[in-house]
Amino acid sequence: MKKVLFCLVLLLAALPAVADVIVIGNPPDPGAGNKFPFGSAYNAEYQQVYDSSGFSGPFLIQDLEFYNTQFDNGSTSLPTGNFKIQLSTTQYGVNDITGNFGQNEGNDITTVYDDSIAQSWQFGNTLHLQLAKSFLYDPAKGNLLMDVVTSGVSADGGETFFDVNSTGGFFTRVYCSGGVACGSNGTVDTGYGLVTGFSGSAVPEPGTLLMMGTGLVGVVGVIRRRRWRGDFPAGALKICLGSGHLKARMTKPQ
């Protein structure tokens, strides 16, 4: 069965990738927004914890999105400077996250983005961040924490206010008041944060892979029986599940 699962993984990897987008925080608060940390001269640390209930299962996060659809401040560009974004699995939740940034971080903390976000801007645009490194998040292991550390940031093109939610209990943010570094004394804003899109792909559970692998064995059996009857059209197919007896070939009828 291990050989079957191995071949199944190879087959799945060969299929065209279909990206999913999970948006947490919709619908946004009407006519409202917030400029921390991506829309102003915020030079400090920022965290946002997302309740695990927003994800139905393991999810490979490859991109992040933030939206500007509710409050138009007339900005023409996003801030310059560097934005370092890390993701981790944390045991702290929406209602008990602390103001100590380091304490909130999970053991699997991973740097997924470390670059500028500067770009021209107009109301209605989406900040789409393609991550340099993907992050596999499993909601069964805890909540998701996003940590942002900025440096050298200025907002010469005006301040941008990204969509927020304050009513759904989806997330909680920890920030430094005034956008100035505050050490481990962050302000906790329970139940409030940026509406966030996570682009990537759902990852099948081990049990699902096992069922698919069992089905693949059945398919191999069908291929072998039909090959023996000569039902296959011209062509050649080789499905190799190892060097042992689980092998099916389809050859051109003579």
What is the pLDDT confidence band of residue 229, given thresholds at 50, 70 and 90?
A: low
pLDDT at 16 > cutoff 70? no
pLDDT at 241 > cutoff 50? no
- 16 compared with 88, residue with greater pLDDT: 88
Cα 224 to Cα 147, 231, 240, 248, distances in angstroms: 53, 10, 12, 6
Q: How far apart are the first and last CA of the chain?
A: 34
Looking at residue 90, its pLDDT comes to 98
Any idea which of 93-107, 131-145, 217-231 has the lowest mean pLDDT?
217-231
pLDDT at 222 > cutoff 70? no
For residue 94, give the nearest of 198, 177, 196, 166 by alpha carbon.
Answer: 166
Residue 253, number of CB atoms within 10 A of its CB: 10
- 187 compared with 223, residue with greater pLDDT: 187
Average pLDDT over residues 62-82: 98
The CATH code that applies to domain 19-202 is: 2.60.120
What is the pLDDT confidence band of residue 204, given thresholds at 50, 70 and 90?
A: confident
What is the pLDDT confidence band of residue 19, given thresholds at 50, 70 and 90?
A: confident
User: How far, in Å, CA of 224 to CA of 247, rounded?
Assistant: 8
Average pLDDT over residues 104-128: 98
Domain(s) labelled CATH 2.60.120 in the chain stretch across: 19-202
pLDDT at 208 > cutoff 80? no
Average pLDDT over residues 86-111: 98
- Could you tell me the pTM of the whole model? 0.78
Give me the chain's average pLDDT, please: 84
